[in-house]
Structure 1
Amino acid sequence: MAESYDVIIIGSGPGGYVTAIRAAQLGFKTAIVEREHLGGICLNWGCIPTKALLRSAEILDHANHAKDYGLTLEGKMTAKVEDVVKRSRGVSLRLNGGVGFLMKKNKIDVIWGEAELTKPGEIKVSAMKKKPVEPQPPVPKGTKDEGTYTAKHIILATGARPRTLPGIEPDGKLIWTYFEAMVPQEMPKSLLVMGSGAIGIEFASFYRSMGVDVTVVELMPNIMPVEDAEISAIARKALEKRGMKIITEAKVSKVDKAANSVTAHIETKDGKTQTITADRLISAVGVQGNIENLGLEKLGVKTDRGCVVTDGYGKTNVAGLYAIGDVAGPPMLAHKAEHEGVICIEKIAGVPGVHAMDKNKIPGCTYCHPQVASVGLTEAKAKEAGRDVRVGRFQFAANGKAIALGEDNGLIKTIFDKKTGELLGAHMVGAEVTELIQGFVVAMNLETTEEDLMHTIFPHPTLSEMMKESVLDAYGRVLNA
């Protein structure tokens, strides 16, 4: 007889495991199915280990510019790639074990294997076809095994994987995805990055800091195309100043492989073609949802462009089946997945006051050097929507803390509705802006106006003061510029 649960979640990434914890808190008998590693891609091969790599790169950058801080280091600081990678993997392994602890603490069963929907409310879990890529921490007690399980509510949280282009498929040696880029056996001398979204730019920034000759090719006119054009332009200039080569309005049409290098044929907007030879190529042209081999077709689950179609609460067109996170569509971000999962399970539980996610209030962060962060509408999108806007700007070069840090290159930009004072969007480039952006996210969620922000006292000396100055600038009241 199949073991029964109130809630079964397929996938233990940020969306999956957070949803499982919230389900357990709400009194549901809960299980989570995982085929490879607790914490999913984000914790093991995405958000967390890349930030560990970028931290090493940041320390290296500072060390190699010690003279700018009045310090002298004997010789040039160097990096041993194996040690940098080892630290990154150690960070992931530690957090992986933490998720296992949380499952045990909340009495959530972990079912190891690959899940397939057999009929509404039922799944079959088979042995993993693919072994974990590295040793896992001890599996928490109470772990279940392959078999058949039933649940009143089944939530898909299967995440996403790198998108590939025909003819430029990753081979693990010369053409990499983020998996291979995260654990290089040795540093290439040259690297071509195809795609300038967050993943592409973060790896481009890391490898450039490590001394690699980096070229980025982007199809759109601006790098980080979802960002405000003004912010993107500042980021591009800063990256190019660091020695990165960037080619926009261009695409890699063909790749020729040699024994230990690739030659990319790059078509530009004007129809011309150039070739670039590099030791390695990173394909960072986006991700696609993991919807295969789940039995969705058999149940008639509606999908669109590789993702499961849901309403604002994670509900699919099949009763008792839900989807959250990357598999439920963009933006494909860990924090979106977590919040989406909480909304989904609280709606199932009938928690009062649950409302659908407002995707316009989901922040986005890119941890390159300099960092980029944003929330809400860009200036162009706000105008396209017919909004009459006020735009405020404040340069890092006018902020005392930024100058003291030696990080005085950047901009805070705010966009307000001229009639109502509503904060429509905030966009930043510069040091630690990925930590600053949440202030504007909170403001937008609280429906804060420019008046509220102007009357808020920001501590001095901090980078956060620039946030208020940007608001003041939008209304002709800037104080320090």
Structure 2
Amino acid sequence: MTHFDLLVIGTGSGNMFLDDRFADLSIAIAEEWHFGGTCLNVGCIPTKMFVYPATLAEQAGRGGRYNVDTAFSGVDWTSLQDRIFSRVDAIEAGGRAYRSGDRQPNVTVIPEHVHFTAEKTVRTASGEEVTADRIVIAAGASPILPEVPGLDAARVDTPGYPIVTSNSIMRLPQRPASLAIVGSGVIAMEFAHIFASFGTEVTVIARSPRLLRSIDGEASAEFTRLFTADHNVILGAEATSFRVGEGSVEVTLEPSGRVDEVDVPNSVTAEVVLVAIGREPNTEGLGVAEVGYDVDSEGRLVVDEFQRVYSGAAPVPGVFALGDISSPFQLKHVANHEAHVVGDNLHADVLAGSPGSAALDGLRRTNHHAVPAAVFTSPQVATVGMTEDEARAAGHDVTVKVQNFSDVAYGWAMADDPGIVKVIADRATRRILGAHIVGHEATMVIQPLIQAMAFDQPADEVARGQYWIHPALPEAVENALLGLDFADR
């Protein structure tokens, strides 16, 4: 049995806070997969490096809309992969080498799976037991696989098997001629955009009547309207079986029961199938519930505002968690924030002496207010705060304004391309409750609204108290704010 002062499980955002404050501790880092976690290796970073050229390809094919003679003639898939993963893989290798090498003699890397056998004891896949005074659990989440006939879960994401998840689709040796995507959330929509823009015949299989159904209803409906106009989408369908053949996969479909009078084909056949129905926290494989850690109904570790892990409704001394294994947001920028909080609170705990002895007034609280999210698809989607339904259910006296991109001059420059800005505010307090944007560069256009919510700025002051560049696209945000109906007008 080997003992450490600190054990960190996971090297995504869990690899961020180990700085000079902890140089005197003996530290073990358990990582069975890639250093850098989901975001670096199979998530945010490489997907966006695919999205950008995919968007260029899409725009090239639509030049006629803007009276320009352009065309898309193909993508060099291998060179694109090399450009993206030569950078990603170098960062992964550098992170592993830094933690494993002589520059950090107090750090031991455990390159294998671990699972808990006691509250502060883990066993490695090779059978070694490791104990620690303090533990940080940052083991992330993994793609969910449906339990349907014909799907061999053990073979998913392995070479040659044509059913994949986001963990391997970007590493396919050839771009598939056809792709069926099971799912209609963020991951599904981003990969649908990528592959369709590069010339793959894409079919999206969605159980619900709307795509991106977790966002504001009006924004989701607008996105669904736009996306289905340009892509092959089967709404109200559920995959009930898979049949892997020679060079193709047949997906059998049935109505999901979520759409009235829907005409669902019996099956869809594609060269490759992407399963993108969501992600689940990696708690089950860690055995955290078996040793008494509290886990919620979604499988997440239960933490408090200080990121302390709970057992029996009380914090476990010296045990913290962060990121997708405990956070409902499943967003890298949230995990990074939580990592900073954990680093500060872990340091305070170490200075206090025994695990769990730090005073609460010396601990930092996590801030989950005004958390933004984005979908890098076409059109882009960005959101922050409450949906309209959530705001009304919370009892707010709501005022709402929806502004079209085509209402401002930059929208005219884009040949009246579709897009909306929806702002939801409290009529009495004038505070912005939520904002939802669908359209060109939505992920950037939304930033003034995120800032206004973060700093609790009244909506009308945000609209009138600063310059808005004319004729830039954020004028649509300005006009949406000016269109809100407040109580004393």
**Which structure 2 segments of 5+ residues have no match?**
349-360
- 2:474 is aligned with what amino acid? S
CA distance in 2 between partners of 1:3 and 1:353 (Å):
26
Larger mean CA deviation between 372-381 and 165-174 belongs to 165-174
> Which residue number corresponds to residue 274 of structure 1?
265
The SS at the match of 1:179 is coil
The SS at the match of 1:320 is strand
Question: Are 1:63 and 2:60 an aligned pair?
Answer: yes
> Which residue number corresponds to residue 340 of structure 1?
338
CA distance in 2 between partners of 1:362 and 1:416 (Å):
16
Larger mean CA deviation between 364-373 and 458-467 belongs to 458-467
> Which residue number corresponds to residue 254 of structure 1?
241
CA distance in 1 between partners of 2:207 and 2:484 (Å):
33
1:294 to 271, 274, 286: 286
CA distance in 1 between partners of 2:271 and 2:423 (Å):
41
Give a deviation string over 1:224-257, Cα, whole Å, max 9, x none. 0111122112212222232x12223331122233
Query: Structure 1 residues 28 and 122, CA, compared in 2 at 3 Å: closer, same or farther?
Result: farther
The SS at the match of 1:374 is strand
1:202 to 190, 193, 209: 190
Query: Structure 1 residues 100 and 66, CA, compared in 2 at 3 Å: closer, same or farther?
Result: farther
Number of matched pairs: 451
Q: CA shift at 1:469, angstroms?
A: 1.6
> Which residue number corresponds to residue 427 of structure 1?
436
Q: CA shift at 1:364, angstroms?
A: 1.3
Q: Is the 8 A contact 1:215 1:247 kept in 2?
A: yes
> Which residue number corresponds to residue 329 of structure 2?
331
> Which residue number corresponds to residue 368 of structure 1?
377
The correspondence of residues 32-431 of structure 1 with structure 2, limited to 5 A, is 32-68=29-65, 71-72=68-69, 76-97=72-93, 99=95, 107=104, 109=107, 111-114=109-112, 115-125=114-124, 150-167=131-148, 168-169=151-152, 171-172=156-157, 173-242=161-230, 244-268=231-255, 269=257, 270=260, 274-275=265-266, 276-304=268-296, 305-316=298-309, 317=311, 318-350=316-348, 352=362, 354-358=364-368, 361-404=370-413, 408-431=417-440
Q: CA shift at 1:329, angstroms?
A: 4.0
> Which residue number corresponds to residue 459 of structure 1?
469
**Which structure 1 segments of 5+ residues have no match?**
128-145, 477-481
Q: CA shift at 1:52, angstroms?
A: 0.9
CA distance in 1 between partners of 2:118 and 2:251 (Å):
47
Give a deviation string over 1:190-232, Cα, whole Å, max 9, x none. 2221111100111111111112222212222321011112211
Q: CA shift at 1:105, angstroms?
A: 12
The SS at the match of 1:178 is coil
Query: Structure 1 residues 348 and 179, CA, compared in 2 at 3 Å: closer, same or farther?
Result: closer
Q: CA shift at 1:174, angstroms?
A: 2.5
CA distance in 2 between partners of 1:190 and 1:147 (Å):
46
Give a deviation string over 1:400-445, Cα, whole Å, max 9, x none. 3344456832111100011111110000011111123333222212
- 2:254 is aligned with what amino acid? E
Q: CA shift at 1:126, angstroms?
A: 5.3
- 1:314 is aligned with what amino acid? Q
The SS at the match of 2:446 is helix
CA distance in 2 between partners of 1:320 and 1:9 (Å):
12
Q: CA shift at 1:120, angstroms?
A: 4.1
The percent of aligned pairs where both chains have the same amino acid is 28
Q: CA shift at 1:289, angstroms?
A: 1.4
CA distance in 2 between partners of 1:9 and 1:277 (Å):
44
CA distance in 2 between partners of 1:106 and 1:71 (Å):
55
Q: TM-score, normalised by structure 2?
A: 0.83
Q: Is the 8 A contact 2:21 2:347 kept in 1?
A: no
* CA RMSD after TM alignment: 2.9
CA distance in 1 between partners of 2:213 and 2:478 (Å):
26
Query: Structure 1 residues 357 and 27, CA, compared in 2 at 3 Å: closer, same or farther?
Result: farther
> Which residue number corresponds to residue 12 of structure 1?
11
The SS at the match of 2:142 is strand
Q: CA shift at 1:286, angstroms?
A: 0.6
Q: TM-score, normalised by structure 1?
A: 0.84
